[in-house]
Amino acid sequence: MSGERRQLERPLTHVYDAAYTGVPNWDIGRPQRAFVQLLDAGLVRSPVLDVGCGTGELSLFLARRGHDVLGIDLSRLAIGQATEKARWRRIPARFLVWDALQLSGLRTADLSFRTVVDCAMFHVLGDRERDRFISGLGDVVETGGLYCVLGDARYDQREIYGLSPEELRTRFGNAGGWEVVFDYRTVFERRWSSNPAYFIGVQRQ
């Protein structure tokens, strides 16, 4: 897949590379609690794709517990840090610089997934990007597979930032072949604060 590492010069690439020269506020050094609970509930099945994986804490957590995990992120700096963590911790997670809006390219490489985890990636996407991402999910998620997203609850309905269960029901409903199977309010933890959030699971039919 190394030859496929193109199309990564979206404007946000440089923004996130700059963020990862330090420790971003969203990088808390461990997985968010919602994903720990997801694992404890037995809802994570391999292979797993971690979209917008950052420095890899969620990927490493799942891989340490026996799951086959691929983490992808726009930021080469974040992926480099995740790869180093995996090496030093001796955890067999894999990481790849890849644009989550190009998931169909993973399918071209014969990759498909039973679980996709998304820790605060979807909630920063623009309107058209959200539909494009959902279309790509349809190419790589197996029948019965689960997409699980954690993101800030939308506080201003005039803005696209954040997410809501109603929005995901509408977008995935329009895409066809998906069903929201759980949603609940929780928090998204940051290093110095926390925000009201939603944790939502959508199953491929």
Residues of the chain with pLDDT under 70: 1-12
% of residues, the chain, pLDDT over 70 = 94
Q: What is the pTM of this model?
A: 0.92
CA dist 55 and 86 (Å) reads 10
Q: What is the pLDDT of residue 12?
A: 66
Which residue do the tokens 């890849």 mark?
98
Contacts with 181 (C-beta within 8 Å, 6 or more apart), sequence order: 146, 201, 202, 203
Q: What is the pLDDT of residue 15?
A: 72
* Helix 11-19 × helix 76-89 angle, to 10°: 50
Q: What is the pLDDT of residue 95?
A: 98
Q: What is the pLDDT of residue 16?
A: 72
Positive or negative, the CA dihedral 66, 152, 27, 133 is positive
Which residue do the tokens 């790869």 mark?
83
Report DSSP state, residue 153: B
CB-based contact 8:98 (threshold 8 Å):
yes
CB-based contact 67:46 (threshold 8 Å):
yes
> What residue segments make up the domains of the chain, in order of their start?
30-191
Kindly report, residue by residue over 70-113, the tens digit of the pLDDT.
999 999 999 999 999 999 999 999 999 999 999 999 999 999 99
Report DSSP state, residue 129: H
CA dist 202 and 175 (Å) reads 12
Contacts with 123 (C-beta within 8 Å, 6 or more apart), sequence order: 149, 151, 152, 161, 162, 163
CATH 3.40.50.150 at 30-191, yes or no: yes
